[in-house]
Structure 1
Amino acid sequence: MERELVSPDADGDERAVEAALRPRMLGEFIGQTRVREQLSLVLESARRRGKAPDHVLMSGAPGLGKTTLAMIIAAELAAPLRLTSGPALERAGDLAAILSTLAEGEVLFIDEIHRMARPAEEMLYLAMEDFRVDIVVGKGPGATAIPLEIAPFTLVGATTRAGLLPAPLRDRFGFVAHMDFYDAAELELVLFRSARLLGVALPEDAAREIARRSRGTPRIANRLLRRVRDFAEVRADGVLTADIAAAALNLYEVDGEGLDRLDRAVLGALLGKFGGGPVGLSTLAVAVGEEPETVEVVAEPFLVRQGLLARTPRGRVATAAAWIHLGLTPPPDAFGAAASAPPAGP
């Protein structure tokens, strides 16, 4: 439950809830100021020319609004939207079936585009540049490529691993945007908007409490808001305050910095069993009873971003801030101890 609560990924049930909270137009979208301004110029220029805009690539962590922006692009262009994902495109024929049925000006959204199969990816190159695909008929020496013209369209790709995109594919996008994590003030605005849609009376101090535990991610902020709402309805007669929000999130083991049970288990093992490190990933994973991939992919990115853990050539190391976060006194040789120490007197 704790990991699901602060996971940036969404399952099928949550996506239905998210759909009701998504902004519909660019002016309603909160945060990502630079991306919004750049994207508005791209879309307005395309509208004035009466042509499909350049293909758009959005990268960033899960839960920051990439899918929402794809839907907004289609809405701003008053164009149909076709959604698919990279893992679903296993063969070139899968992609050809979609491309051949696109209407002129339609927006095609491919989530996790870096996970496309290589044959589909190579077919996409020609489709993006020349709005044409080559259908291969037959096998062996007698195979024939039949060119098939497709309607001009706009591809919107989303990826959480931009470094895995091949350069030829990345270079074919006319506009590339990187989605940053949100600051607390932006998350508060997200929470106020979601609270209005959910019919929740959300005081400023309660919004601030939820925002600071949301790991810079709107999806997590909205999820925590719903859990706090449930807690207030059951245990506080529907009255939501900062204290109620804190009590609810403490119950779900999300602490004041957004760390959950797994995050604290990793730091606790690193400090309590290995003296702060360095320690190898596999050893650390065994100590917390998780798979190495879970520790590396799920827990580590947030801990590193918060400055609580460092990856070094010798292994994982807890920083001085990690000792302090768990209420311990960091040793003099703790990683980053000099930076976190108070300045010496005159």
Structure 2
Amino acid sequence: MSGELSPQAAPSEQGYEGALRPSTLAEFVGQSKVRSQLGLLLDAATMRQHTPDHILLAGPPGLGKTTLSMIVAAELDKPLHQTSGPAIQHAGDLAAVLSALTPGEVLFVDEIHRMARSAEEMLYLAMEDFKVDIMVGKGAGATSVPLELAPFTLVGATTRAGLLPNPLRDRFGFTAHLEFYSDDELASVVRRAARLLDFGISEQGVEEIARRSRGTPRIANRLLRRVRDYSLVHETPGDTESVHAALALYDVDEHGLDRLDREVLRAVVERFSGGPVGLSTLAVSVGEEAETIEAVVEPFLVRAGLLTRTPRGRVATRLGWEHVGIVPPGAAGGAPALI
């Protein structure tokens, strides 16, 4: 396919995020296995006129966990109540949320692994028997009062499924593990978003954005928006040249690495002779928090084959050396390791 994509009606800027989210499983791009499994689960529940099993969505940020929760509610034609694990720090917080649910409502808890332990224990009974025990009073005179709940479907989302306690994880009837997207799938995401944004972009531009989006639709949509802004301000068409110029302006290279990614990789190669280097030392060398390096930067560098993690620390791979323009030590004609 070549040429420019024909634009359709565009959403307002205020409704940008919501407008780009697909509202049905049929519109959702990628995750074909998960879509099929989820579709079967919802169709069976609708045919039985029953509340679907609780659903756990696990995977890296930006792959569509929140969007899928909205689609579950839309497919069931039920309201959606959204909250997050960090917002539920006491059992009373969870009891207030659960008691307000209407029959069949979908409760979405983002980052569910960060929920307080006392709330998790209350959630066990709520998920299985649709009731909770409320403690009234204090000390020796405290009594437990059972509270019946309306049947509901819990959709939990987590980026770290391993942190969920087994009793909670086992109470989900369906667990979906979302995978990173292929370039072709991301290209479909970009095409759809471009139409909704009323932005004409060449097919070559679409493919370029897809290649630099790190397998993540959220990043693809963000890069598309930046390219659109560049084309608007500079009055250029959405061609490959504009895409290159816009992404260069925002420090996104041909492999999808941004400024911080390259700083971390260059620090390992140039300052620490390719490693191994400890996380704390690496974080100090680039002026960032260790948590940011570990949670934001490292996963992509490791997945791209530019960095490895060893018991002694982080080590740059041959591809990592080559990415910063230095021949790795030991290669034919290569330079000695940096000191």
State the secondary structure of the residue aligned to 2:292. helix
Q: Deviations over 1:192-213 (max 9, x none)?
A: 0000100011211000110111
Percentage of pairs with the same residue: 67
Partner of 1:279: 277
CA contact (8 A) 1:229 1:238 kept: no
State the secondary structure of the residue aligned to 2:107. strand
Partner of 1:62: 61
TM-score (normalised: structure 2) = 0.92
Q: Deviations over 1:298-338 (max 9, x none)?
A: 2111101101001111111000001111222122279xxxx
Partner of 2:202: 203
Matches within 5 A, 1:60-209: 60-209=59-208
Partner of 2:316: 318
Q: Deviations over 1:258-299 (max 9, x none)?
A: 001111111111111111011111211122122222221221
Note the residue ranges of structure 1 that are not aligned, 5 or more in a row.
Answer: 1-13, 335-346
Give the RMSD, CA atoms, in angstroms: 1.4
1:299 is the counterpart of 2:273:
no
TM-superposed deviation, 1:17:
2.5
* Ranges of 4+ aligned residues in structure 1 off by more than 6 Å: none
State the secondary structure of the residue aligned to 1:28. coil
Q: Aligned pair in 2 of structure 1 residues 176, 250: CA closer, same or farther (>3 Å)?
A: same
State the secondary structure of the residue aligned to 1:293. helix
Distance 1:204 1:305 in 2: 27
Distance 1:283 1:99 in 2: 45
Distance 1:41 1:306 in 2: 34
What number of residue pairs does the alignment pair up? 320
Distance 1:112 1:212 in 2: 28
CA contact (8 A) 1:134 1:146 kept: yes
Amino acid at match of 1:271: V
TM-score (normalised: structure 1) = 0.90
CA contact (8 A) 2:201 2:237 kept: no
CA contact (8 A) 2:227 2:247 kept: yes
Distance 1:312 1:288 in 2: 20
Distance 1:182 1:95 in 2: 34
TM-superposed deviation, 1:172:
0.1
Partner of 2:325: 327
Amino acid at match of 2:20: L
Amino acid at match of 1:297: A
CA contact (8 A) 1:22 1:68 kept: yes
Distance 2:92 2:236 in 1: 53
Distance 1:148 1:154 in 2: 17
CA contact (8 A) 1:253 1:260 kept: yes
Distance 1:15 1:95 in 2: 31
TM-superposed deviation, 1:163:
0.6
Partner of 2:7: none
